[in-house]
Amino acid sequence: MRKQLRLGIMGGTFDPIHYGHLVAAEEALVQFNLDRVVFMPTGEPVRKTHRLVTPAEHRYLMTVIATASNPDFEVSRLEIDRPGVTYTVDTMLELRTIHGSETELFFITGADAILDILTWKDSQRLADTCTLIAATRPGYDLSRLSQRPESAEFKIELMEVPALAISSTDIRTRIVAKRPVRYLLPEAVATYIRKNRLYEGAA
């Protein structure tokens, strides 16, 4: 009998990707016995009106560079190639069609994003397609997650990741302030950022 595939989908804006994301993906791979983790940079993220998001192609390439040395990691263009605003439910339904109903899907993302899940498009349908893995930073108030979605039957697993003390917002702020980002993200990603002069204007 063919083994059931367990696929992790690491959803995020990755603006930029950093070691917190990479450690979270590796942790999910092992903790949830996944076969591989597919990084899924968002195309046009929902509700990012407070700041300009870096063009998708840059975020995609930084994600490819950061994950290239890990044979268990892949990067998908599914969301960045889909026109319009990115909705996770569309992605999971597409993956279901590609991989078939026997594949188990795990959507991994930040706990704060998951807190809002009831407001996401077709959240009930999303709940039917996958298990959610909420990655938290150390000291995260877990009671916030216990007040979450009741109307939909969400399967939510929590995963504390110490390295998530690193954040994309902090990295962008540091670059504007010309403070060091070494050891917060892979050196090759830092080089890509410098070469393309990303984040120099505004965090």
Residues contributing to the site for ligand NAP (CB under 6 A)? 10-13, 20-21, 24, 42, 45-46, 86-89, 108-110, 112-113, 120-121, 135, 164, 167-169
Q: Identify which of residues 163 and 192 has a Cβ nearer to ligand NAP in the complex.
A: 163
Q: 56 in helix, strand or coil?
A: helix
Q: Which residue number places its CB atom closest to ligand NAP?
A: 110
134 vs 192, beta carbon nearer ligand NAP:
134
Distance, CA of 142 to CA of 146 (rounded, Å): 7
With respect to ligand NAP, which residue has the nearer C-beta, 5 or 46? 46
What is the nearest approach in angstroms of ligand NAP to the Cβ of residue 49?
12
CB of 92 to ligand NAP, least distance (A): 9
Beta strands (DSSP E) in the chain are: 6-12, 36-41, 73-75, 104-110, 131-136, 156-160
Contact 173, 200 (CB under 8 A): no
Shortest distance, CB of residue 113 to ligand NAP, whole angstroms? 4
Residue 202 backbone zone (phi > 0: left; psi -120 to 50: alpha; other: beta): beta
Round to whole Å and give the CA distance between 200 and 203. 8
Question: Assign residue 109 a region: left if phi > 0, alpha if psi is -120 to 50, beta otherwise?
Answer: beta
> What minimum distance in Å lies between the beta carbon of 134 and ligand NAP?
9
Shortest Å distance, C-beta 36 to ligand NAP: 15
Alpha-carbon span 80 to 14, nearest angstrom: 12
Closer residue to ligand NAP in complex, CB, 3/147: 147
| CB 2, min distance to ligand NAP, A | 29
Q: Which is nearer to ligand NAP, 103 or 129 (CB)?
A: 129
- Neighbouring CB atoms inside 10 A of 74's CB total 16
Could you give the 3-state DSSP secondary structure of residue 44? strand
Residue number with CB closer to ligand NAP (65 or 108): 108
